[in-house]
Amino acid sequence: MIRFVVVITLVALTAGLLTGALRRYAMARSLIDVPNARSSHTIPTPRGGGVAIVLSFLTAIVLLALQGGVGDLLAFAIVGAGALIALVGFIDDHRHIAARWRLLAHFVAAVWILAWFGGMPSFDWFGRSVQLGIWGPVLGAIYLVWLLNLYNFMDGIDGIASVEAITVCLGGALLYIVIGRADEAIVPLTLAAAVAGFLYWNFPPARIFMGDAGSGFLGIVLGILSLQATQASPALFWCWLILLGVFIVDATWTLLRRLCRGERVYEAHRSHAYQHASRYFGGHLPVTVAVCAINVLWLLPVALCVGTGLLDGVVGIVIAYAPLLLAAVVLRAGEREFQVG
């Protein structure tokens, strides 16, 4: 136990130091996000700091796998898919990559993951274990690619993507401990530590942004961890969807609204619920703190009820998502920027 505490402490410190170095690199290379009409920030800020999360976390996973602390299949899935997504994001942060090529890379990563997992794991449906059969790989790939992209969409204000990853990972780790699978908590705790080191620089007001390399990487790794949890216990799939509820509901509802208006969904915009909220409350900090509070005080208790069998997974999703959807509607997620007053 003491050794693992030392490991995650070193991961957090490494990520923090690397982020500082990447900030200097970004400023020297003029890798700066300059605010425009579709930005949620007002001050030019370096980007690409998410690479620190990638390097510190993947290094830790390799070392843990060599020592037997992480299974080989999980390690290969994380390192292979994570490195690919981070590389594509890193290139896109430096020079634009067409959306179709990014999407192709995303599906390649998803196929890689499902190959190491042996397909889409079974999940719990009102007490029954459900196998998706031939549809499993298709739906699994769509799920992973959507989670990856929605995480990119939701990384739009200071600290929000970092706080989401940390609280979701800590919640997932707690679920493992509660159901008696504490050994499985190693990977989410390690990822939380890596993101915490980056958050030191990204907390509002941010001194560096995550960039596509970091947000895409977090999205795909969180997808992998949700599948790992499903293998441990089919009910845990619903738990991870509940923990990710803020991002899933906001991004999905916003996408559907924009599709209905015939807009190009891959273009940058400021119509997510969290973006409207940041303008309404006059800053990023209140929204980022609110997301943290919702995750800890609302979504985590519901996920624990599902994980311990007190609630069915589908019922838990409905209970968890209902107020989030109401908030998205009230905040006019998916609508063009509106004026308050």
Residue 262 domain flag: yes
CB 212 within 8 A of CB 106: no
Report the SS3 class of residue 309.
coil
| DSSP H helical ranges for 128-159 | 135-154
Residue 337 domain flag: no
The pLDDT of residue 131 is 84
The pLDDT of residue 128 is 82
* Average confidence score pLDDT of the chain: 92
Residue 196 domain flag: yes
- Whether the predicted pLDDT of 38 surpasses 70: no
Question: Over the range 234-265, which residues count as b (16 or more CB within 10 Å of their CB) and which as e?
Answer: bbbbbbbbbbbbbbbbbbbbbbebbeeeeeee
The pLDDT of residue 179 is 94
Share of the chain above pLDDT 70, in %: 96
- Whether the predicted pLDDT of 284 surpasses 90: yes
Residue 336 domain flag: no
- Whether the predicted pLDDT of 33 surpasses 90: no
Question: What is the domain extent for residue 299?
Answer: 2-330
Give the least confident one: 81-85, 94-98, 170-174, 191-195.
94-98
Q: What is the pLDDT of residues 245-279, one digit of tens each?
A: 999 999 999 999 999 888 877 777 889 999 999 99
CB 57 within 8 A of CB 11: yes
Residue 40 domain flag: yes
Does residue 32 or residue 18 have the better pLDDT?
Answer: 18
Helix 160-178 to helix 236-243 angle, to the nearest 10 degrees? 150
The pLDDT of residue 337 is 62
CA-CA distance, 87 to 81, in Å (whole number)? 10
Average pLDDT over residues 288-297: 98
- Whether the predicted pLDDT of 44 surpasses 90: no
Task: Give backbone dihedrals phi and psi of 46, rounded to 5 degrees, phi first.
Answer: -60, 150
pTM over 0.75: yes
User: How does residue 341 score in pLDDT terms, banded at 50, 70 and 90?
Assistant: very low
- From the CB of residue 321, how many other CB atoms can be counted at a distance below 10 Å? 21
Annotated ligand binding at 152? The verdict is yes
Residue 76 domain flag: yes
- Whether the predicted pLDDT of 39 surpasses 70: no
User: How does residue 172 score in pLDDT terms, banded at 50, 70 and 90?
Assistant: very high
The pLDDT of residue 36 is 64
CA-CA distance, 319 to 52, in Å (whole number)? 36
Q: Which residues contact 244 (CB under 8 A, 6 or more apart)?
A: 147, 164, 168, 222, 226
- Spatial CA neighbour of 94 closest among 129, 47, 164, 161: 47
Report the SS3 class of residue 283.
coil
Tokens 């999407």, located at residue: 103
- Whether the predicted pLDDT of 41 surpasses 70: no
CA-CA distance, 143 to 150, in Å (whole number)? 10
Residue 49 domain flag: yes
- Please report which helix (H) or strand (E) contains residue 124, including its range: strand 123-125
Average pLDDT over residues 299-319: 97
Residue 338 domain flag: no
Give the least confident one: 117-126, 145-154, 200-209, 330-339.
330-339
Report the SS3 class of residue 129.
strand
Annotated ligand binding at 72? The verdict is no
DSSP assignment of 27-46 equals HHTT-EE---TT-S--S-EE
- From the CB of residue 101, how many other CB atoms can be counted at a distance below 10 Å? 12
The pLDDT of residue 40 is 67
Structure tokens at 138: 């298709």
The pLDDT of residue 96 is 85
Q: What is the pLDDT of residues 130-145, one digit of tens each?
A: 888 889 999 999 999 9
DSSP β-bridge partners for residue 125: 128
Counting the structural domains of the chain, the total is 1
The pLDDT of residue 339 is 44
- Please report which helix (H) or strand (E) contains residue 67, including its range: none
In single-letter form, the type of residue at position 320 comes to A
Average pLDDT over residues 44-68: 95
